[in-house]
Structure 1
């Protein structure tokens, strides 16, 4: 294991497989179904994430994700992996403000289905302190 990030990547990959009952065919079918559409982020491979980066106009950075451990299960399930962490994985310069804004905007849309669900679960489990 290279570092904690790769450990987390592996753990989220296993979580994805568990959600699919370790059904390899189901994983392959779901991946095929989202090859050309931006949905079902959970099953995206690292290569599919790279294609998405190219689609949003940041192709110059896409190859930096090769062997990075960034995949759809990590992006969709790890609430600590935000657009800033993604920019770091892409090795984007802090000075590339335009690129970071593009990434932030598209990233928010990409994860919205997963992050809103997690936020709703959390808000239901944690009672509000305002009464």
Structure 2
């Protein structure tokens, strides 16, 4: 059955003369969904919505590439590292930003309105980490203004910083935020002020995990300039290009299992449950991953 679908896809692509790799992928995903009658909430989000979503997560500079690639919600769900490189997203931080933003969509069952753009009733009370996780880039800037850092808030435009990245990425801490805000290292009192408010924002448990991460062996700070490079294939890999392992989900940006998403939605004890080890960037145990979604090919 899978072979028949793949043959059909190849024939259609040849007939249409479709050259853009993401257009080809979009068609493949649509045919796979049609043939398996697999209903996915992500399919309700069109490519116009995705360009608005890029604004929300603080990465508007990629809107033209995503628009040209017609990247819709279903494609977001199955984005790979190489797909992002095709879309000219090479920053490691921006890969992590997109990864955590897709995770938030998973947790919220691809609700198109799950990100919060403006302060609501929670502005007068302490927000929980699960609420902060849904903050847009603009909402994070509003928070900076509320803690007397208004002059630095505009520096977050185009940074990819949103609530999901702040809460879910263990290497994202107050020092990372200070760098992105361009607060000079010599302004120690200002940085201490930011660190105090950042710890209050993310909550004691997430802050403790971030600190444990900093103190762990082999820790390297999250770079704001590091690039993601495509994988180099050795000579022995070429024989496996056409025949991938059935459990090979290595390239997915965020291959989140439904059970893991539900655990986080229900208030999993550790903020990073279902998130660590899911990206090649922070991959710890690739052998334990399972295939998510339709096969490559």
TM-score norm. by structure 1 comes to 0.80
Q: Distance in 2 between matches of 1:8 and 1:44?
A: 16
Q: Which residue of 2 aligns with 1:109?
A: 200
Q: Distance in 2 between matches of 1:32 and 1:68?
A: 16
Q: 1:42 aligns with which of 113, 126, 133?
A: 133
- In the TM superposition, what whole-angstrom CA distance separates every residue of 1:7-53 from its partner, at most 9, and x where no partner exists? 0000000000000011114x15xx27853525210110000101111
Counting matched residue pairs gives 118
Q: Which residue of 1 aligns with 2:95?
A: 7
Larger radius of gyration: 2
Alignment of 1:80-99 (within 5 A): 80-99=171-190
Contact 1:16/1:73 (<8 A) preserved: yes
Tell me the CA shift for residue 113 of structure 1.
5.8
Contact 1:65/1:90 (<8 A) preserved: yes
Q: Does the alignment pair 1:75 with 2:166? A: yes
Q: Does the alignment pair 1:118 with 2:270? A: yes
Q: Which residue of 2 aligns with 1:19?
A: 107
Question: Higher RCO, 1 or 2 (CA under 8 Å, sep at least 6)?
Answer: 1
Q: Distance in 2 between matches of 1:119 and 1:10?
A: 18
Residue 32 to residue 70, structure 1, CA distance change in 2 (3 Å): closer
Superposition RMSD in Å: 2.3
Structure with higher helix content? 1
Unpaired runs of 5+ residues, structure 2, are 1-88, 209-268, 274-297
Q: 1:57 aligns with which of 145, 148, 151?
A: 148
Residue 120 to residue 11, structure 1, CA distance change in 2 (3 Å): closer
- In the TM superposition, what whole-angstrom CA distance separates every residue of 1:45-104 from its partner, at most 9, and x where no partner exists? 000101111111111110000111000000011111000001011111011111101100
> SS of 1:47's equivalent?
helix
Unpaired runs of 5+ residues, structure 1, are 122-131
Tell me the CA shift for residue 118 of structure 1.
2.4
Tell me the CA shift for residue 2 of structure 1.
3.7
Q: Distance in 2 between matches of 1:69 and 1:95?
A: 25
TM-score norm. by structure 2 comes to 0.37
